[in-house]
């Protein structure tokens, strides 16, 4: 009898777990992006996330109308690919990040009255645990090779006549880390009073990732941690504005679009807690996207991005990557919706 409550809890969790549905409102999930960078020897870059909700407390139909509290634990697997023209290493680096995140979301109806719009403030506190790796295995230092029985990526030897190097191996070296993080997100949304998706909104997010010092599998090497940083401050600011109402989607003219909107996003990271001789560093991408929301679910559209600063992918973080990129963005879920009168 003592196990009955646990069995009920496990059964309820299994019933609630699901992949996001196309009409389901979500908050702060990474989209699918595929783009072409205007950079030498690079063909494309793609972010391919897979999200799985253990429970989604945001899908209650009256949550945006009445306000309230929602809990959304989710598992995500985010892969990033960059294809290059080099014959020896055509994909450098493939990066993957499995992440378990818990979001605690409070929906607050704002008090001011208006005959044309109803505003809401979403406050989200998130905590996460993740692993980040480029999936490669090799000596972490340039021109070296792992010694037999090596337990560290820095246990390297060099062929005769090749000088020992302290520089990172940016071609085939490995990079893994375990992360713990917390973030605070604020999102303001302005809905029409008769219901529907928001006409516009603004988002701000501030978070901190901590690079866990450890000795078991997948941990970052102490020498790499001193170069990469003990922690990273991550930030995001975004604004969205309705650009068009119901229309035929272009170029898919056979499909109806509920609306289209412009989204401007700036984000970035600053790495701190580095070893002696290394200064804080970071990067900042700026995105402008035109997103069409289709009637049968999901959104998609072209985007242009300018990335400024250090390359954020894996072992290449010591290289600058100031580059323009154009591509296509896909969101498989729906936006938060306000129920109309009578619902």
pLDDT digits (tens, 9 = 90+) for 313-336: 766 567 788 999 999 999 988 888
Residues 147 and 294 in one domain: no
Q: In the chain, what is the greatest distance between 2 CA atoms, to the nearest angstrom?
A: 81
- Residues facing residue 231 across a β-bridge: 210, 272
Residues 128 and 143 in one domain: no
Number of domains in the chain: 2
Residue with tokens 């700026």: 286
* CATH (domain of 264): 2.40.160.40
Per-residue pLDDT, averaged over 229-258, amounts to 82
Global pTM reads 0.85
- pLDDT for residue 338: 85
Domain edge (last residue) among 173, 199, 230: 173
pLDDT in tens, 14-36: 556 888 887 788 889 999 999 99
- pLDDT for residue 21: 82
- pLDDT for residue 91: 45
DSSP string, 269-301: EEEE---TT---EEEEEEEEEEEEEETTS-EEE
Asked if the structure places residue 37 within a domain, the reply is yes
Residue 235 has pLDDT above 80, yes or no: yes
- pLDDT for residue 8: 44
Asked if the structure places residue 203 within a domain, the reply is yes
Per-residue pLDDT, averaged over 242-246, amounts to 80
Asked if the structure places residue 25 within a domain, the reply is no
- The pLDDT confidence band at residue 136, using thresholds 50, 70 and 90, is low
Residues 187 and 71 in one domain: yes
* Per-residue tokens: 304: 């242009």
Asked if the structure places residue 18 within a domain, the reply is no
Residue 128 has pLDDT above 50, yes or no: yes
Question: How many angstroms separate the CA atoms of 196 and 58, rounded?
Answer: 16
Residues 91 and 121 in one domain: yes
Residues 254 and 201 in one domain: yes
Element (H, E) at 75: strand 68-84
* Per-residue tokens: 248: 């035929």
Residue 252 has pLDDT above 80, yes or no: no
Does residue 119 contact residue 191 with C-beta atoms inside 8 Å?
yes
Flag the least confident range among 279-283, 286-290, 339-343: 339-343
pLDDT in tens, 41-100: 788 899 999 999 998 888 887 888 888 999 999 999 999 888 877 654 434 556 889 999
Residues 157 and 304 in one domain: no
> Domain range for residue 245?
31-134+176-338
Residues 212 and 325 in one domain: yes
Residue with tokens 């866990």: 212
Residue 331, φ and ψ in degrees, nearest 5: -120, 120
**What is the β-pairing status of strands 323-331 and 196-197?**
unpaired
The distance of Cα 245 from the centroid of its chain, to the nearest Å, equals 28
Residues 75 and 117 in one domain: yes
* SS3 call for 16: helix
- The pLDDT confidence band at residue 176, using thresholds 50, 70 and 90, is confident
- The pLDDT confidence band at residue 186, using thresholds 50, 70 and 90, is very high
Domain edge (last residue) among 173, 197, 220: 173
> Based on C-alpha coordinates, what's the Rg of the chain?
23
Q: 164 versus 267: which is more confidently predicted?
A: 267
- The pLDDT confidence band at residue 303, using thresholds 50, 70 and 90, is very high
Asked if the structure places residue 266 within a domain, the reply is yes
Residues 156 and 305 in one domain: no
Residues 213 and 111 in one domain: yes
Residue 71, φ and ψ in degrees, nearest 5: -120, 135
- Residues facing residue 126 across a β-bridge: 103, 183
Residues 146 and 241 in one domain: no
Domain edge (last residue) among 121, 148, 173: 173
Task: Identify the CA nearest to 38 among candidates 314, 265, 312, 326.
Answer: 326
Flag the least confident range among 8-12, 185-189, 281-285, 336-340: 8-12
- The pLDDT confidence band at residue 127, using thresholds 50, 70 and 90, is very high
Q: 239 versus 89: which is more confidently predicted?
A: 239
Asked if the structure places residue 4 within a domain, the reply is no
- pLDDT for residue 171: 66
Per-residue pLDDT, averaged over 230-256, amounts to 82
Residues 157 and 253 in one domain: no
Residue 124 has pLDDT above 90, yes or no: yes
């Amino acid at each position: 009898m003592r196990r009955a409550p646990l069995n009920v809890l496990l059964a309820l969790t299994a019933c609630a777990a699901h992949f996001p549905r196309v009409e389901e409102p979500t908050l702060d999930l990474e989209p699918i992006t595929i783009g072409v960078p205007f950079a030498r020897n690079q063909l494309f870059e793609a972010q391919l996330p897979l999200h799985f909700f253990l429970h989604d407390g945001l899908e209650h139909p009256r949550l945006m109308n009445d306000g309230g509290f929602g809990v959304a634990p989710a598992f995500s697997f985010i892969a990033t690919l960059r294809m290059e023209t080099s014959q020896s290493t055509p994909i450098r680096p493939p990066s993957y990040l499995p992440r378990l995140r818990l979001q605690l979301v409070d929906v607050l109806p704002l008090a001011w009255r208006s005959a044309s719009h109803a505003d809401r403030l979403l406050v989200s506190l998130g905590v996460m645990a993740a692993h980040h790796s480029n999936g490669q295995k090799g000596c972490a230092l340039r021109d070296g090779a792992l010694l037999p029985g090596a337990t560290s990526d820095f246990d390297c030897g060099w062929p005769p006549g090749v000088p020992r190097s302290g520089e990172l191996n940016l071609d085939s070296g490995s990079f893994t880390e375990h992360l713990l993080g917390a973030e605070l997100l604020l999102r303001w949304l302005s809905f029409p009073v008769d219901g529907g998706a928001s006409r516009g909104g603004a988002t701000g997010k501030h978070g901190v990732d901590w690079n866990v010092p450890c000795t078991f599998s997948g941990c970052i090497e102490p020498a790499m941690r001193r170069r990469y940083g003990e922690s990273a401050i991550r930030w995001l600011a975004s604004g969205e504005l309705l650009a068009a109402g119901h229309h035929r989607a272009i170029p898919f003219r056979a499909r109806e679009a509920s609306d289209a909107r412009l989204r401007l996003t700036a984000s970035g990271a600053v790495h701190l807690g580095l070893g002696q001789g290394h200064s804080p560093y970071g990067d900042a991408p700026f995105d402008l996207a035109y997103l069409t929301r289709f009637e049968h679910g999901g959104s998609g559209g072209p985007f242009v991005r300018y990335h400024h600063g250090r390359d954020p992918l894996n072992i290449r973080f010591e290289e600058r990557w100031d580059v323009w990129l154009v591509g296509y963005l896909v969101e498989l879920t729906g936006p938060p919706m306000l129920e109309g009168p009578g619902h």
